[in-house]
Structure 1
Amino acid sequence: MITATISILLGALALSISVAASLGIVAFALTWFFTSAPLDRMVGEVAWQSMSSDTLVAIPFFILLGEILLRAGIAERMYGALVEWLSWLPGGTMHANIGACALFAASSGSSVATAATIGTVSIPEIEKHGYSQRLFLGSLTAGGTLGILIPPSVSLIVYGALTETSIPRLYMASMLPGVVLAGLFMFLIAGICIIRPAAGGRPVRTSWKSRIRAIPDLFPPLFIFALVVITIYVGIATPTEAAAFGVVGAIGLAAMHGRATVAMLTEAIEGTMRTTAMVTAIIMTALLLNFVMTFLGISRQIVDVVVALDLSPTMLMLAIVAFYLVLGCFMEGFSILLVTVPIIVPIVVSLGYDSIWFGVVLTLLLEAALITPPIGMNLYVVQGVRKGGPLSDVIMGSLPFVVIIFLMILILMAFPNLALWLPSIAFDS
């Protein structure tokens, strides 16, 4: 049954059938061929139970939050301020790409929205300052991945819902790794530009007067971050309520800048509805497939096969990392999360690893999936924003950042407290 499940799923994806439809096809095929039980009659019940979760209501709120920040011009002003403060480093505005992605990630929770927003604002800088096309584009794709690591993260909300793990703890656990990863990205850019000065383009001219004048443009994303994450941390709001607070705050910021028009809000809501429909369809069919696999014992069979390998916990974790890196080349990250978490997390926990720690590691693996060909979503988002030129430039520019993500995973395996320290002092002290 394991072979049949994988074959049907890969076959459906190879035929370019949508992920949600592919998962549904697998679930019904397993029901029809491997059991006489009328599992198809459970579709309505599973759909209702999966979609009636209060936690998952946070997803459309965070998507709407990102849409408003994008359309209100707040991201553009934030990027300009970071150019003023970071462009003195080797690599110039490429550091602003990483910094802007990190700040926007702390507001929106979406990697695709982060890459698209910062890419739209920053792409003109390539020609203006003569940067290496590949390195600049790679900084955008990689910086965009921070959207699912730095809280508030939609992926961490879904992981918490699937594994019944505390979302506030997951948010606290991802903060330090997110900051360290952004720093490693910037270190890579600086190192390449020191070795190859031509890649760093022409210096950006600025002044302390301009820098000081730009500081207020950094406050809006920090305000949204504080509004969302701190209200969760101090217990004022649940993740869903905090996401709603974030939306209200974003509308308020848009109004302060004179951008809270009916047309802007209509476009933001329409974009939110399209994205939410896609996400919820995938969640519903993934949970249906998980239900069928559990009923047929496939999940248990997979666990037994892995345990029979008799590998040490470290070797098995490295095998899981390799599995996700390969899977990320062929499946979209959100789909990987929904399909694999119910199967892999019990294995990881049985090895003695913390589920919160693994949530951070898995998010890093999903980041790698976002920038590895041929399915990497951020590659196509940045290429679309670029409007011309070969896709190979984006792919080649992203590969060094994949290595950095893998290095970050090794750091977390060697020093797990990098992820577990903040949750321990925040909730266990």
Structure 2
Amino acid sequence: MIGTAFSLLIGLMALSLPVAAALGLMGYILSQKYAFFPLTGALGELAWNTSNDFILIAAPMFIMMGELMHRSGMSERLFSALAPWFARVPGRLIHTNIAASAIFAATSGSSVATAATIGTVAIPNMDKGGYNPPLFLGSIAAGGTLGILIPPSINMIIYAVLTDTSVAQLYAAGFIPGFMLAGLFSLTVFAVAIWRPGLAGPAGETAGLWPRRIAGLKHLVPPLGLFLTVVGSIYIGIATPTEAAALGLMATLGLVAANGQLTLPVLVRAFEGTVRTTCMIMLIIIAAFFLNFVMVSIGLVKAVTDSVLSLGLPPTAMLLAIIAFYLILGCFMETLSMMIATTPVVVPVITAMGYSPIWWGIIFVILMEAALITPPVGLNLYVVQSVRGRGPFSDLCIGALPFVGAMIMMIGILIAFPDLALWLPSLLQPNK
């Protein structure tokens, strides 16, 4: 049964079927082959119950926030405000890419939106500044991945729904690792710039930096204010994650209106982008819940858990094997489908070994970040390449490698010091 399920998953993905179709078809085949009674009759009820989940309502609102920030020019002002602060640091605008990605990630919750938005603003400065294309573009692709680790994160919402864990606890767990990973990215750029100064671009204009820095602070206030509105409202106890998303969306609309950019074309483009992304995510989730229902009903999840635990490996060795499996799988599988297809099988194994599902959720999100920038299916690589519109794709593949190394280092740090992810959740004890 396990071999059949794995072969089905690989085969359907290899046929390049849409993710939702592949998951739904896999559930149907497993149901017909192994179930004692037809399970497809439950699909309607599963679809209804899944769509009714209160937590999932937050996803389209976070998507809408990112769309509005991108369409209204808020991201361009953010990038321009950050650039003077890194003018004297080796690597200059490459650090700005990472910092802007981290701040934008703290409001959008989407990796692809972060990479596309920061890429649109930053890439025109690459040739003008004389930067090394692989390193510059790799920093944008890697910085974009912070959108699913730094709260609020759409992927964490989905993980919470799949594992019945607390979104607020996951958000708290993602704070320290998220900003630590951004720091590791910046240290990676700094190390490369010291080792090979020619890759970091020539020295920039440093005259009048402080006036420019001070003048740009006003453009940092809106995204930071949005971040505090969303996350702060959760932890002071006045809003659930879904209500916090609604507050963030209303605040974003207010900021866009205050800047005189809440026009009909901006709203239409933002609505279109939100609807497309939300429909894709929801269709995948409905198909995944059907597949999960089938796998539990036929005993596949228990069979996998028992098979893995019967190997008798120590928990650390088993954990490292699972991490290696995901690093390889991420090269060939899109992140959302990887999360939804494997979480119901892997998380029971993780918890049976005594690890916290909250801690594993952060490790898992970093593994998905790595999958976003590892070819041949690294989605962020294709997003940045499409924004660039020219040049070899190999530039991005080469440029992303140092940042994959930083992610693996971050995973090692979290294994050695799990309290980096668990301290804030235990301290804050937010409501689910």
Which TM-score band (shorter chain)? Answer: over 0.9
Per-residue deviation, residues 220-279 of structure 1 (Å, max 9, x unmatched): 110110010011111111111111111111111111111111111111011100000100
CA distance, structure 2, for counterparts of residue 394 and residue 301 of structure 1: 40
Instruction: Give the counterpart letter for 1:63 in structure 2.
Output: I
1:162 matched residue in structure 2: 162
Q: CA contact under 8 A between 2:35 and 2:297: conserved in structure 1?
A: no
For the residue of structure 2 that corresponds to 1:331, the secondary structure is coil
1:416 matched residue in structure 2: 418
CA distance, structure 2, for counterparts of residue 167 and residue 203 of structure 1: 44
RMSD of equivalent CA atoms: 1.0
For the residue of structure 1 that corresponds to 2:96, the secondary structure is helix
Matched, 1:98 2:94: no
Matched, 1:334 2:336: yes
CA distance, structure 2, for counterparts of residue 109 and residue 119 of structure 1: 16
Q: CA contact under 8 A between 1:87 and 1:95: conserved in structure 2?
A: no
Per-residue deviation, residues 96-154 of structure 1 (Å, max 9, x unmatched): 00000000000000000000000000001111111110000110010000000000001
Q: CA deviation at 1:337?
A: 1.2
1:24 matched residue in structure 2: 24
Instruction: Give the counterpart letter for 2:149 in structure 1.
Output: L
For the residue of structure 1 that corresponds to 2:312, the secondary structure is coil
Q: CA deviation at 1:34?
A: 2.1
**Moved segments of 4+, more than 6 Å:** none
Structure 2, unaligned stretches of length 5 or more?
none
Q: CA deviation at 1:33?
A: 2.0
The 5-angstrom pairing of residues 246-285 of structure 1 reads 246-285=248-287
Moved more, 25-34 or 389-398: 25-34
CA distance, structure 2, for counterparts of residue 350 and residue 9 of structure 1: 24
How many percent of aligned residue pairs carry the same amino acid?
51
CA distance, structure 1, for counterparts of residue 340 and residue 13 of structure 2: 15
CA distance, structure 1, for counterparts of residue 170 and residue 40 of structure 2: 34
Moved more, 20-29 or 35-44: 35-44
The 5-angstrom pairing of residues 49-60 of structure 1 reads 49-60=49-60
The 5-angstrom pairing of residues 180-329 of structure 1 reads 180-206=180-206, 207-329=209-331
Instruction: Give the counterpart letter for 1:11 in structure 2.
Output: G
CA distance, structure 2, for counterparts of residue 397 and residue 180 of structure 1: 20
1:352 matched residue in structure 2: 354
Structure 1, unaligned stretches of length 5 or more?
none
Q: CA deviation at 1:365?
A: 0.6
Matched, 1:119 2:119: yes
The 5-angstrom pairing of residues 352-371 of structure 1 reads 352-371=354-373
For the residue of structure 2 that corresponds to 1:140, the secondary structure is helix
Q: CA deviation at 1:36?
A: 4.4
Instruction: Give the counterpart letter for 1:248 in structure 2.
Output: M
For the residue of structure 2 that corresponds to 1:383, the secondary structure is helix
1:140 matched residue in structure 2: 140
Q: CA contact under 8 A between 2:75 and 2:117: conserved in structure 1?
A: yes
Instruction: Give the counterpart letter for 1:413 in structure 2.
Output: I
Per-residue deviation, residues 310-365 of structure 1 (Å, max 9, x unmatched): 11111011011011111111111111111111111111111111111111111101
2:62 matched residue in structure 1: 62
Instruction: Give the counterpart letter for 2:16 in structure 1.
Output: S
